Amino acid sequence: MEATAKKQSRGPGRPSTGARERVLDAAVETLLEEGYAGLSYAKVAVRAGENKSLITYYFGSKQGLVAAVADVIGERITEHVVAHLGDVETVEAIARGLITGVWEVMDEDPRMARLYFDLSAVIVVDDDIRQALHEVKDRWREVITANLLEAGAPNDQVAPMGTFLMAGVQGLAIERLEGYEPERLEAARELFIRAAGSIG
């Protein structure tokens, strides 16, 4: 109730102080470095150089803050993936683009994939984070669906094909995070891409 009053007192047209962005950036970095279990208001506030009360003011709760971070991470991953899809004409090319985009994210900052899977584990007990990750996945599904339709996939097969592609990419990403036998992983990646092509 108090937070709502504060928000309304700002008035329309007043410039942002940047505090919300600083808190969100600090939360992203804290989660990337320490994972969900290591996140606290105190750590985020110190990193942001802001008062802890601003976290509640802008995000409502720890879960609300984590949900906002999930959205940021999802957006970053989605941008990389979309950049590698381009004008794809086959399901095999879509699978290759998805894998290439995710691999690029993992090469640039392996912590992003770790955090995504860390938060995926939390969704079992937290509805806010579940909702945030569902929204991230829904955006990926929209991208994949549009590309599958463009590649000529039958309408009634687009949803299951999208699920197959997402599940395959996520499974391979977990294997890559675990660091087992790069040669075997590369062979599995190519096998997945060929398998995707065979259902297209």
- Whether 166 and 90 map to the same domain: the answer is yes
More confident residue, 2 or 158: 158
pLDDT digits (tens, 9 = 90+) for 38-85: 999 999 999 999 999 989 999 998 888 998 998 888 888 888 888 888
Q: Look at the pTM and tell me if it is higher than 0.85.
A: no
Q: Are 2 and 56 in contact (CB under 8 A)?
A: no
At residue 15, does pLDDT exceed 50? Answer: no
At residue 25, does pLDDT exceed 90? Answer: yes
Average pLDDT estimate for 21-50: 93
At residue 12, does pLDDT exceed 50? Answer: no
* Residue 115 structure tokens: 């955090």
In a 13 Å sphere around the CA of 113, the CA atoms on its Cβ side amount to 22
pLDDT of residue 79: 85
**Boundary residue ending a domain (42, 60, 78):** 60
- Whether 71 and 9 map to the same domain: the answer is no
Q: Are 140 and 165 in contact (CB under 8 A)?
A: no
At residue 23, does pLDDT exceed 90? Answer: yes
Q: How many domains does the chain have?
A: 2
- Whether 36 and 115 map to the same domain: the answer is no
| pLDDT band of 165, cuts 50, 70, 90 | very high
CATH of the domain at 2: 1.10.10.60
- Whether 82 and 166 map to the same domain: the answer is yes
* Residue 164 structure tokens: 């197959």
- Whether 127 and 72 map to the same domain: the answer is yes
Q: Which domain holds residue 134?
A: 66-200
More confident residue, 184 or 74: 184
**Boundary residue ending a domain (60, 77, 106):** 60
- Whether 20 and 40 map to the same domain: the answer is yes
- Whether 78 and 157 map to the same domain: the answer is yes
CATH of the domain at 159: 1.10.357
More confident residue, 8 or 128: 128
At residue 86, does pLDDT exceed 50? Answer: yes
Instruction: Give the whole-angstrom CA distance, residue 112 versus residue 182.
Output: 20
Instruction: Give the whole-angstrom CA distance, residue 103 versus residue 193.
Output: 14
**Boundary residue ending a domain (13, 35, 60):** 60
Q: What is the mean pLDDT of the chain?
A: 86
Instruction: Give the whole-angstrom CA distance, residue 191 versus residue 154.
Output: 23
Instruction: Give the whole-angstrom CA distance, residue 148 versus residue 97.
Output: 12
